[in-house]
Amino acid sequence: MEAAMEFNQKEPIYTQIIDDIKIKFINGTYKLGDEIPSRRELAKTLGVNPNTIQRAYREMEEMNLIMTARGQGSFLTNDPGMLESLREEALHEAVSRSIELLRSFGKSDQEILETMKRYMEQGKGL
């Protein structure tokens, strides 16, 4: 995490930190087994309470997303299945949010499907 994050007021900060690390893992910024910033370093970088970072790391350890080796640091999982699972989860969330939004605009499922197909065929949105 190089740059400071902009936190929203809707979600707890620790969950936003977890989501940021997940996104960086999914998009390849972080790779399987990469070391992530120390709790102290990340707290300083983000300007948040170290207890918030501690909670985020504890949650990620419980999810088996990261492993912490005492005296060595915290590392992303080496499990490619976890990465694939996170990618699938992100895909389903994005599609679900998009469909929900388009339905709220009064679009039918058929219109949504046809529009998405057209966009994909034209290579838009890539």
Q: What proportion of the chain, given as a percentage, has pLDDT over 90?
A: 85
- Give the integer Cα–Cα distance in Å for 112 and 90: 19
CA angle 76, 78, 82 (to 5 degrees): 85
Q: Given a cut of 50, is residue 11 above it in pLDDT?
A: yes
Report the pLDDT averaged over residues 60-84: 94
- Give the integer Cα–Cα distance in Å for 88 and 76: 18
Q: Which amino acid belongs to residue 94?
A: A
- Give the integer Cα–Cα distance in Å for 76 and 21: 9
- Give the integer Cα–Cα distance in Å for 9 and 1: 20
Residue range 37-58, pLDDT digits in tens: 999 999 999 999 999 999 999 9
